[in-house]
């Protein structure tokens, strides 16, 4: 089977840094993606880690450690608009679009 | 460049009816995946099509089916609707594995 675990809720203040962790158990694993979803909106692609290490995209960074079956999304200089749900998703193989999603982490940014 | 377009945006159907949802992927994207999103189960993979062939299938009953046309547009069909099929149905297209771009979804309500 395949499952991904992430915290259900995280709260932080504007300007702070927050890390959302994701641990996975999958029968096949190729990489880890992160998506943001605002209430009433569609999931938006943030980043993909196909290799171990850190990927940085502006205020957002994502990390993967295959040996620990673990990844995280790091959000810096938090803004109110970052309040949303964040999902990690495992890619089962390199030649497929099938993503297995975690249950999502609701991030609330307070002033 | 146009994003992923899903139609219709909202739909109300009666138990026992069938429904067809449509998805137009980003131009050049040949992989189209469908997901069901509910508050209780989160984002669940339905199936993926690539070059008019179903490449992956999730753990849903046979009432859920789909197809892809030569222009990469995709449709999914749900027959004999049940109350539990009420959900947001999301379509995503991909060019690169792990990077999925979602449409706004079709919110289906079964009454």
pLDDT at residue A97, rounded to an integer: 82
- What are the tokens at B9? 């945006």
Radius of gyration of chain A (CA): 13
Q: Is A103 on the interface with B (CB under 8 A)?
A: yes
State how far the Cα of B47 lies from the Cα of B52, in Å rounded to an integer: 12
Would you state the structure tokens that stand for residue B7, as one six-digit string? 């139609």
SS3 of A108, please? strand
Of residues A88, A3, A18, the one with CA closest to residue A48: A88
* Residue-level pLDDT, tens digit, chain B, 111 residues: 689 999 999 999 999 999 999 999 999 999 999 999 999 899 999 999 999 999 999 999 999 999 999 999 999 999 999 999 999 999 999 998 889 999 999 999 999
Measured in angstroms, the CA of B45 and the nearest CA of chain A are apart by 7
The answer, for A56 touching chain B at a CB cutoff of 8 Å, is no
Nearest CA in chain A to B94: A97
Q: What share of chain A is helix, strand, coil (3-state, %, to 5)?
A: 5, 55, 40
B45/A41 touch (CB, cutoff 8 Å), yes or no: no
State whether B90 and A42 contact (CB < 8 Å).
yes
Closest residue to A96, CB basis, from B97, B101, B103: B97
* Residue B8 neighbours by CB under 8 Å, 6+ apart: B21, B106
pLDDT given at position A2? 77
Residue A101 bridge partners (DSSP):
A89
Query: Do the Cβ atoms of B50 and A45 come within 8 Å?
Result: no
CA distance B89 to B107: 6
Residues of chain B in contact with residue A97, where contact means CB-CB under 8 angstroms, are 31-33, 48, 50, 55-56, 92, 94, 97, 100
Tell me which chain A residues have a C-beta less than 8 angstroms from the C-beta of B100: 33, 35, 43, 45, 97, 99
Reported in sequence order, the residue ranges of A1-111 that DSSP labels E, i.e. its strands, are 3-5, 9-13, 18-25, 31-37, 44-49, 53-57, 60-65, 70-75, 84-91, 99-101, 105-110
Per-residue pLDDT tens over the stretch B20-44 = 999 999 999 999 999 999 998 999 9
Q: Are A64 and A49 in contact (CB under 8 A)?
A: yes
Gap from A32 CA to chain B (nearest CA, Å):
7
């Amino acid at each position: 089977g395949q499952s991904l675990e992430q915290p259900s809720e995280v709260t932080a203040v504007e300007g702070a840094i927050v890390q959302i962790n994701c641990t996975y158990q999958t029968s096949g694993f190729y990489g880890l993606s992160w998506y943001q979803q605002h209430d009433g909106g569609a999931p938006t692609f943030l980043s993909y880690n196909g290799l171990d290490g850190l990927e940085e995209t502006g205020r957002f960074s994502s990390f993967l450690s295959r040996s620990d079956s673990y990844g995280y999304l790091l959000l810096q200089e938090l803004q109110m608009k970052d309040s949303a749900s964040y999902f990690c998703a495992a890619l089962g193989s390199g030649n497929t679009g099938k993503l297995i999603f975690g249950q999502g982490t609701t991030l609330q940014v307070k002033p | 460049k146009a994003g992923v377009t899903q139609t219709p945006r909202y739909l109300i159907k009666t138990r026992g009816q069938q429904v067809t949802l449509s998805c137009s992927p980003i131009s050049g994207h040949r992989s189209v995946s469908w997901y069901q999103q509910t508050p209780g189960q989160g984002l669940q993979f339905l199936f993926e099509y690539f070059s008019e062939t179903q490449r992956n299938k999730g753990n849903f009953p046979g009432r859920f089916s789909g197809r892809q046309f030569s222009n990469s547009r995709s449709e999914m069909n749900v027959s004999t609707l049940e109350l539990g099929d009420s959900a947001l149905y999301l379509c995503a297209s991909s060019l690169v594995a792990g990077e999925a771009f979602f449409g706004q979804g079709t919110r289906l309500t079964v009454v």
